[in-house]
Amino acid sequence: MYSVLAWRNIWRNKRRSLITILSITFAVLLACAMRSMQLGSYDRMIENSVRFYMGYIQIHKDGYWNDKVIDNSFHYDSVKLNQVTEIKGVQTYVPRLESFALASYKNQTKGSLIMGVDPRRENDLTRVKEKLVEGSYLTSDDEGVLVSKGLAEYLNATVGDTLVLLGQGYHGANAAGLFPIKGIVRFAMPEQNNQMIYMSLAKAQWFYAADQLITSAALLIDDADEAPRIVREIKKSFSSEDFEVMDWKELVPDLIQSIELDSISGKIMLMILYVVIGFGMFGTYLMMTAERQYEFGVMLAVGMKRLRLQTIILLEITMMTAVGVLVGITISLPLLTYFHFNPIYFSQDAAKAIENFGVEAVYAFSLDPTIFTNQAYAIFIMAIILAGYPVWSIYKMNPVESMRA
Amino acid sequence: MSTIIKATNVSKVYHRTTVPVHALNNLTLSIEEGEFTAIVGPSGCGKTTLLNILGGLDHPTSGKVEVAGTDITEMKDSDLIDFRLKNIGFVFQAYNLIPVLTALENVEFIMLLQKENKKVRHQRAMELLTQMDIADKAKNKPSQLSGGQQQRVAVARALASKPRFILADEPTANLDSSSTSNLLDLMARMNKDQKATFIFSTHDQRVMDKARRIVTLEDGTIVSDTTR
């Protein structure tokens, strides 16, 4: 009967209860949407940087990460790297020879990042073939190159045109060559889209006079969370040699830091939202305590224990909060599921403005279950804290004074 | 008949303003089991204060109140709540039924607090509503009942816990004459048939006419105590 009493009490003042429930619903909906969009964007940034570019783990010659020059490359030992793939959770390795060069076409020149790759292995990791917007993909002994869309647009070059690449090769050798454009690839991250040139590993080794050398081996693994364990195991087998093995968090510390910073600002926004909603909830609790002083006094007078009365009030508050939270999650779940599979892309002008900040112009949404559970916890904890007022009032209540009120 | 309430030298002083208000002055009163007593007097004479103290809702400034031999003046608040639940029935001027519960549930509610099982609760609540001639309104909520009907439910509720006595603070103050007469007849019948002890505070002449004992208060002191 206590539950029945609590439930019916909620609906004594339908309008007020509905407003409170709707405000909780709105808070949950807004909080879920905000957090989903934030985490979705982070996932996307990490995916673009890590999954589709760096790889979750990289092996380099020791010192390469601090001084990314071609002289810090190492001998491509496929036998040794194949051993790495025997570690549980490692799918494959992707050898790369990376360096910089000036890319010229007609009277346009731009600094670019040259990536010599094994086309098949590279596609396994970064799915670069799917990013092809024009032309065709590389083969292992290809003479041509893939140019990122932003760079191609800057150079006014297209498929079939020939680029002049000029740089510095291994141990100071001159690096110069003519490379026909075989395809154009479009990357989500502006940083990649505006400077990448892919060529076959063999061609890159020839261009940089770095025969049998690579600068990194990126690993494709089953689960990103397993990266630290895999790094530890690789370090064991590579311990006697001059290598550095880094997981993705070490590879993109700036990204992780900016995500953490942005996440804090997001949480502060959520807290502000909760405080605003909290005032609304507190108003309801204040009113439902004030207007029922007499009734509470009578209940205490006829022999109802304070604890029992407090329990009924807590039940009312919990029920009201639960309804608000459930409705909020019920609305937000299908909504966010839709946007998870159909992210919002910005229109051209807005997209360019956003890409200038170095981020992909898209609102992506995450469906991480913690988004929903955390909002539910937050609202419940807030409700319980705010319920302290009516609970305290009942604890201090004098039935005679209350009935006189 | 045995003494159910014994108030000895009870005084109550309120200090709500700079001037202390002496609501009760060294008052001594005994109530016997089965009595139908009206406490009367002008407004502010201390009727409600006396009822609150007899019912364990308030503590006297000095003096002692014993209910069935138990001194309730020194009891802790939590023990008093339990004591009230087991020993005292209350009827208030404004009925004070729980608005979201039906008449039946309101009567059952007190027995729920006493942890009676559902079957017993339902059976006794229906019996009491029948005795109060309001069984047909058992499923109605208080807002669907007239003042007189609500007060009859309140009396049924007060009797539901099988209390040693019932304190009724101005129970007819909000009722018309027909409802008042009806309610008083029902209470008199409960007093006679079930030996229920009733103590009223009132200045309603119709209640005084029904009462067998009239205790008159003035300025917190008993000025007359007559039994008919």
**Residue B138 · residue B122 · CB < 8 Å:** no
Kindly list the residues from chain A whose CB atom is less than 8 angstroms away from the CB atom of residue B85: 302-304
The reply to whether A398 falls in a domain is yes
- Position with higher pLDDT, A195 vs A225: A195
Whether residues A385 and A328 share a domain: the answer is: yes
**Dihedral over Cα of B89, B93, B96, B102: its sign:** positive
Q: Residue B131's pLDDT is what?
A: 83
The pLDDT of residue A241? 65
Instruction: Using alpha carbons, select from A348, A97, A42 the residue that is nearest to residue A224.
Output: A42
Cα separation, B179 vs B177, whole angstroms: 6
Q: Is residue A297 part of a domain?
A: yes
Query: Are A320 and A294 within one domain?
Result: yes
User: Which residues 10-39 of A are in CB contact (within 8 Å) with B?
Assistant: 11-12
Average of per-residue pLDDT values in chain A:
87
Query: The domain containing residue A75 runs over which residues?
Result: 63-241
Residue B29 sits in which domain range?
3-227
Average pLDDT over residues A38-58: 82
Domain tally, chain B: 1
Q: What one-character DSSP code corresponds to residue A162?
A: E
* Whether A91 and A228 share a structural domain: yes
Cβ of A295 under 8 Å from any chain B Cβ? yes
Is the pLDDT at A91 greater than 80, yes or no? yes
Sequence-distant contacts of A82-88: CB under 8 A, at least 24 apart: A83/A237, A84/A59, A84/A217, A84/A219, A84/A234, A84/A237, A87/A230, A87/A233, A87/A234
Residue A343 to residues A37, A41, B175, B184: CA-CA distances in angstroms?
Answer: 10, 10, 68, 74
Regarding whether A294 and A207 lie in a shared domain, the answer is no
DSSP label of A360: -
**Which of B52, B101, B110 is opposite residue A302, by nearest beta carbon?**
B110
Inter-chain residue contact A298 with B92, CB threshold 8 Å: yes
Residues of chain B with pLDDT under 50: none
Quick check: A303 and B105 CB within 8 A?
Answer: no
pLDDT digits (tens, 9 = 90+) for A103-139: 999 999 999 999 999 999 999 888 889 889 999 999 8
One domain for residues A361 and A216: no
Work out how many domains chain A is built from and give that number: 2
Interface ipTM above 0.85: no
Residue A101 dihedral angles phi and psi, to the nearest 5°: -160, 160
Q: Closest approach of chain A CAs to the CA of B82, in angstroms?
A: 6
Q: Which residues of A touch B58 (CB under 8 A)?
A: 400
Question: For chain B, what's the residue count?
Answer: 228
Claim to verify: residue A228 and residue A189 sit in the same structural domain? yes
Report the alpha-carbon distance of residue A37 to residue A364 in Å, rounded. Answer: 6
Find the closest chain A residue to B83 by CA distance: A303
